Every structure is written in structure tokens, then in C-alpha cells.
Amino acid sequence: MTTDTQFSWPVRVYYEDTDAGGVVFYANYLKFFERARTEWLRALGFNQQILNETHGLLFIVKRASIEYHAPAKLDDELKLVVAVERLGGASMQLRQEAWRTAGEQTTLLADGSVTVVCVSAGNLRPCPIPDDMRAKFQGNH
């Protein structure tokens, strides 16, 4: 990743994450990425439920693209990474990665781009990302 402001979140692979071959089912990377984005927002001080209740805002996924490089397996320890690639008026493009960590060795398993849009909870129409959030997304805490 090219940004200095990236966030990482640990995840362990459980039996429920794998297919019959003991490999993480490909769609579960979307779930892993979602969890990492949620924890990233929480680490910046933005609880998604509170944003909805107090500000009437939601973040919804508009687009997701993932490339797979190596399989994760049962009981692997993963590091999920989130970084802002582009910040628009009502949307942002995030770079996400899933790494297997085993001691000092790390292996890139999957990486992708996810575009999320800030919308009004009432009508689900795009609305501007609030300035306080924008500053934190840009690394200006």
C-alpha cells in the first residue's frame, strides 16, 4: 500500500470460514474485509450504529473487486489491512488486503478495492462525508 495511514485488524480462520477442502471460501474474504472496515471506523471513533442514530448516515458498498493470490486455511492467523486510496465528496475508495501471518513470515492472500458511499439513512441517497470524518480518513486526527 502506498499510504502511511493504514489500519490492520487480526482475524483467525475458523471451520465455518472454510469449504469442504479446508480452504477459506472465496466470498468470506468480503466478510473479512467488512469486519476490518467496521473496526477501522470504530478505531477512528465512528461507531456505525451511532452514526445512523445520531447523524442519519450509513456507509454502503458500491463496488468491490478482489484478486486472490494464495489460499488461507483452517486456523491461519490473518492480518486484514484497510487504507484510503481516494476520498471523494460522498464516496471513498479503499484498498484492502488479507495477509497470512506465521511468525516473521507474511503471505499476501488477497487484495482488492472497495468503494463505499456515504448515504442518508432516510432515503439512501448519497450525501457528503462530514468534515470531521474526512479529516480522520485523511490521517489528520
Domain residue spans in the chain?
Answer: 7-137
Per-residue pLDDT, 52: 85
Q: In this predicted structure, what is the pLDDT of residue 140?
A: 59
The reply to whether 19 belongs to the active site is yes
CATH superfamily for 7-137 is Hotdog Thioesterase (3.10.129.10)
Is pLDDT above 50 for 82? yes
Instruction: Report the pLDDT value the prediction gives residue 139, as an integer from 0 to 100.
Output: 81
- What is the model's pLDDT at position 2? 38
- Lowest mean pLDDT, pick from 8-17, 44-53, 72-81, 86-95: 44-53
Q: Which of 19, 111, 131, 132 is catalytic?
A: 19
DSSP conformation letters of the chain: ---S-EEEEEEE--GGGB-TTSBB-TTHHHHHHHHHHHHHHHHTT--HHHIIIII-EEEEEEEEEEEE-S--BTT-EEEEEEEEEEE-SSEEEEEEEEEEEETTEEEEEEEEEEEEEEEETTT--B-PPPHHHHHHHTT--
pLDDT-based confidence at residue 3 (cuts at 50, 70, 90):
very low
pTM of the model: 0.90
